[in-house]
Amino acid sequence: MRARPPEIRKPGLREPISRPPVVRSAAGWYTPATVLLYDSGVSGNCYKVRQLFAHLGIEYERREVDVIDRSGREELLGALNPALRVPTLVFDDGRSMGESDAIMFYFAEGTPYLPDDRWERAQVLQWLFFEQYSHEPNIAVARFWVIAGITPSQADAEAKRRGGTAALRAMEGHLANGRDYLVGDRYSIADIALYAYTHVAPEAGFELEPYPAIGAWLERVAAQPGHILITD
């Protein structure tokens, strides 16, 4: 006989919610709205999580956090995420998780979005680290300056330009070598991670016309079933 899942509670509620259909996945038992996402509609990092959830059909409660005005972050997220950043995810049992790529890796386990092959899983991690170390700190920060109305110094702006261009060239060289996706022959969380800020790179002043392989890859990613827009 299949074990009965535990009672499900929404974050912050003492009484169990009525029992909707319960799904068993590699990520554990979950039901609609049993996870709470501290989110920002302009953040590419938050968009990654929402995109994977859309693919997996995971429903969740969403709470918008201002990424420009950081006052009150300690009170809001201090007990949940030591970095005080979004996305932060809170599970129904009170556990919390930060960092977009960690959240994606957790929920992608046992799904088509994370390979079973040991080598390909390591390659996925390689691209996730690349995204957070070489891509996001340059393109995302330059985009944030525009959104927040910040005028950086010329030296800072040039540094982000060089770093972002180097990241795009690395992606272009990889994809131009006959690859449809970043890892193996299928779409994975590596593609979700890099798509997030690459597709809005023009908002940061990075034109994508010089990167035809990236352009074709962006179209393939956007054509995936369940794809959502960053504004959704």
Residue range 118-222 forms a domain whose CATH class is mainly alpha
CA angle 87, 89, 93 (to 5 degrees): 170
CA-CA distance, 176 to 187, in Å (whole number)? 16
Q: What is the pLDDT of residue 28?
A: 52
H-state helical runs in 97-188: 100-108, 118-130, 141-148, 154-175
The pTM for the full model equals 0.85
Tens digit of pLDDT at every position of the chain (232 positions): 434 433 333 333 333 333 333 444 444 545 445 799 999 999 999 999 999 999 999 989 999 999 888 889 999 999 999 999 999 999 988 899 999 999 999 999 999 999 999 999 999 999 999 999 999 999 999 999 999 999 999 999 999 999 999 999 999 999 999 999 999 999 999 999 999 999 999 999 999 999 999 999 999 999 999 999 999 9
Q: What is the pLDDT of residue 71?
A: 87
Helices (H) and strands (E) in the chain, counts: 8, 6
CA-CA distance, 30 to 34, in Å (whole number)? 6
Block residue for tokens 């390979």 = 115
The full DSSP string for 149-170 is T----HHHHHHHHHHHHHHHHH
The residues spanned by each domain of the chain are 23-108, 118-222
Q: What is the pLDDT of residue 92?
A: 85
Report whether 136 contacts 45 (CB < 8 A).
yes
Q: What is the pLDDT of residue 33?
A: 53
Q: Which of 124, 84, 110, 128 is nearest to 30 (CA)?
A: 110
Q: What is the pLDDT of residue 59?
A: 86
Q: Is domain 23-108 in CATH 3.40.30.10, yes or no? A: yes
Pair of tokens at residue 194:
């890099």
Q: Which of 55, 183, 174 is nearest to 118 (CA)?
A: 183
pLDDT digits (tens, 9 = 90+) for 36-70: 999 999 999 999 999 999 999 998 999 999 988 88
Q: What is the pLDDT of residue 137?
A: 98
Report whether 183 contacts 130 (CB < 8 A).
no
